[in-house]
Chains A and B, each alone.
Chain A
């Protein structure tokens, strides 16, 4: 019996209420179980391809909550990605998503897009800018681009502030590189402070998760090979990510894809075994941190656990505990701290109505605890949460590393 056959959905329904889209829409067709049933019907030729079928299977945040709650060990990601690919082939892709894929497929194009934007022009090609109302997010609520891409602004090899205790590789991801360099600089600052030598391989590029999610597997494969080549020849203690979606790619998706292509997965698996999210890494070496003892007034913070942190690393509890441990913070948990914000890659743009309802609920709860900072370790969540806040909400969204870095004792 093949593995594929063994991976049969028992239709138990335990994934229904784990799924943020089902929980909001309360219709079976929005559920992970239904998606699997429809995929099966399509594969068995009992259901024809259609625009609606494409919509139903793509109305998904690729958040992994279904997989995390499925006792039968269904690999939803692979099934969904495979189906999305077929649907794009059958039904085509919207111009906006096409442009996005075009951009992310090659590093120089992202740079090109970014340069255009900096020159006061549109961030994205015409069709994109026009249609891409960017979901619910007003354009001026979007983060401005880094003046210089992070990897260009920082060295490739960075030495620690104190006696070296180890070496780490840093996979910076597109968001840190082009949008949120504060995350990047803070990450470096903390690692230096802890005594780590940091290597930021120059050739790294987009992790390709957005491409995979939109069925552009071939384009993704080029990026994946580039990244593996950039990371494989270093002997390090850890491969760190500041975005758990990139982490998911490096840890789970790369080995699977490489194996599926019939290639030797040795290097990929070696890298995968060392992948760790930055917050878990900081937590593991917490005793290496020295805080500025002159900080007296505590800052009040709350935390949004990104789905990919929760479902792929199980690290949201670690992150939360780390935040609680920090002496200069008062942590206020919201009742829905680990529920999806509705960002989900491009979900906020493709399904703005659904997304808006999710994010508004999160914002309401976050405002109710009256925190000053809203910490989250995923750039898409950050963009989505910050983008939907009003100016007078007095809540600033940050990656936890930024606030940790700012409280370190100067050496």
Chain B
């Protein structure tokens, strides 16, 4: 519980209705989709930038930790208030301020759900490319703070590529605005890079100008299965190497396919060693030509079954399978740990082998799911945290997986972020000076470390 004086001051700003601090309520803001939990002392729902600014002024006066929260779908513990204090939840600051497809941008408040951005654009035949699998729930604020990507970022890039401008409230309560409605803008430092992926440790996002694109004329989707996992990865390298950049190339291995099929009954091939969902978009004629080339290439690389989606419904079914993968794994055991190590595309086959080798060594189950086109893999290990011995193995296996990725010139996280889950491993991919440099930036703008403290900086 916050001190009465602080509480009163905060209620002065926000009103009683948007301030929660009863135990039953606090318990609901202690978690995200990761494992660690820690309760805040108060939850506040701001609706305006002014409110956010005033709250931060009070928080910095009393040096109280403030952790932003969108929808709590992070899988690395990023919104978990590990040092307690205030959770600033943006679910009610959710207005779409302007849709402008002529100048190709949309302005939103941070609590707007990704899927609602898509919904607002659809009537104009436009879309916002970043499509995390959590898009039905996750918010733009959370997407920016985690620099979220998704299946189609292979062709289109990740969140940072679509942030034209932002309004951010600093720890002091000062409001800054940078970027503009222009796609080209090199005025000053590219500050959006600083805040994209900062996981709420540098400032609180209160508004964002996002770049949007016209929907492609045609989308074609293909599901291919292989009886040898290596072939899956070879096909990916071969297709991209030939100059075709699909929207997405999603790999699922045998265990993943079966786990999804057990729950969703979508008619997936249970015997395949691995499958790829390949999607291309663009002008109709070009798509048809590319699709032919892709089919040739996958056949040459040993595909055993090639199925092209012939209707929107079939397409949706393939994607439903992919989107449900994470949750399905949660069903295999009381707990699940899923990471997102990333390696250069040509090293995907090697990395998959490494992952399987490591988990085999510890007798663990592993499902490998990957955005194979950009080398971003999701090894998911279902296990039981109450089983101390097993859990120890899981932790060791993951640290070896991180190590292996680093050795292949890879990195710790392609899209999920560092949060509480991976901060200990940063030195694997960053030297001491670089980590120091990040700390200096943090110290300069948040000297008392009130913004999301206890995380990677």
Contact = CB atoms under 8 A, between A and B. Distances in A.
Interface in A1-60: 1, 5-14, 16-18, 26-29, 31, 34, 37-38, 41, 47, 50, 52-53, 56
B112 to A, nearest CB: 11
Interface stretch (B97-105, B219-227, B320-328): B320-328
Contacts of B323: 71
Interface centre among A7, A14, A28 (most CB of B within 10 A): A28
Interface in B4-45: 20, 22-25, 27-29, 31-33, 45
B148 to A, nearest CB: 14
Contacts of A29: 20, 24-25, 28
A15 to B, nearest CB: 8
A225 interface: no
11 contacts: A6-B331, A12-B134, A12-B330, A13-B73, A14-B136, A38-B27, A47-B23, A52-B22, A70-B327, A72-B328, A72-B331
A337 B76 CA distance: 37
Given A71-B263, A72-B327, A11 B31 contact: yes
A396 B167 CA distance: 48
Contacts of A18: 136
Interface in B326-366: 326-336
Contacts of B28: 27-29, 31, 34, 37-38
Contact of A12 (B73, B91, B334): B73
Contacts of B48: none
Contacts of A8: 330-331, 333-335
Given A10-B329, A16-B137, A28-B91, 9 more contacts: A11-B32, A12-B330, A13-B71, A14-B136, A17-B115, A47-B27, A52-B24, A71-B330, A72-B330
A314 interface: no
A11 B35 CA distance: 9
Given A12-B327, A26-B92, A72-B327, A6 B334 contact: yes
Contact of B24 (A1, A7, A16, A38): A38
A73 interface: yes
A50 B136 CA distance: 32
Contacts of A7: 331
Contacts of B327: 10, 12, 14, 70-72
A50 to B, nearest CB: 6
A11 B330 CA distance: 9
Interface centre among B45, B325, B328 (most CB of A within 10 A): B328
Nearest to B335: A8
B36 to A, nearest CB: 11
B295 interface: no
Interface of A: 1, 5-14, 16-18, 26-29, 31, 34, 37-38, 41, 47, 50, 52-53, 56, 70-73
A12 B115 contact: no
A56 B20 CA distance: 13
B374 interface: no
Contacts of B263: 71-73
Contact of A13 (B20, B27, B72, B325): B72
Interface centre among A1, A8, A38, A41 (most CB of B within 10 A): A8
Contacts of B326: 10, 12, 71
A327 B20 CA distance: 54
Contact of A73 (B91, B113, B331): B331
B331 A14 contact: no
Nearest to A11: B33
Nearest to A28: B28
B89 interface: yes
Contacts of B264: 71
A13 B25 contact: no
Contact of A10 (B24, B113, B115, B336): B336
Interface residues of B, number: 43
Interface centre among B24, B25, B115, B137 (most CB of A within 10 A): B24
Nearest to A69: B136
A52 B111 CA distance: 26
A53 B25 CA distance: 9
For the complex of A and B, the 9 pairs showing the least CB-CB separation, nearest first, are A10-B330, A71-B327, A71-B324, A34-B28, A26-B91, A13-B73, A29-B28, A28-B28, A72-B331
Contacts of A28: 28-29, 72, 89, 91
B94 interface: yes
A17 B136 CA distance: 7
Interface in B346-390: 384
Nearest to B386: A5
Nearest to B92: A26
B134 A14 contact: yes
A10 B33 contact: yes
Contacts of A26: 45, 91-92, 94, 111
Contacts of B332: 6
Nearest to A51: B24
Contacts of A52: 22, 24-25
Interface in B271-294: none
Contacts of B134: 12-14
A348 B138 CA distance: 29
Contacts of B72: 11, 13, 28
A29 B335 CA distance: 22
Contact of B33 (A12, A27, A47, A53): A12
Nearest to A47: B27
Interface centre among B20, B32, B72, B138 (most CB of A within 10 A): B72
B333 A6 contact: yes
A47 B328 contact: no
A91 to B, nearest CB: 12
Contacts of A9: 330
Interface string B124-144: 000000000010111000000
Interface centre among B28, B138, B324 (most CB of A within 10 A): B28
Interface string B184-218: 00000000000000000000000000000000000
A59 to B, nearest CB: 12
A16 B71 contact: yes
B288 to A, nearest CB: 31
A17 B71 CA distance: 10
B269 to A, nearest CB: 19
Nearest to B75: A12
A71 to B, nearest CB: 3
Contacts of A73: 263, 331
Given A26-B92, A38-B24, A71-B264, A13 B328 contact: no
Nearest to B138: A13
B91 A27 contact: yes
Contacts of A13: 32-33, 71-73, 134, 137-138
Interface string B59-86: 0000000000001110000000000000
B113 A17 contact: yes
Nearest to B330: A10
A26 B335 CA distance: 27
A118 B73 CA distance: 53
B137 A14 contact: yes
B27 A41 contact: yes
A5 B383 CA distance: 12
B91 A50 contact: no
A75 to B, nearest CB: 12
Contacts of A50: 24
Contacts of A10: 33, 326-327, 329-331, 336
B134 to A, nearest CB: 7
A167 to B, nearest CB: 31
B281 to A, nearest CB: 25
Contacts of B328: 71-72
B137 A17 contact: yes
Contacts of B31: 11, 37
A164 B32 CA distance: 59
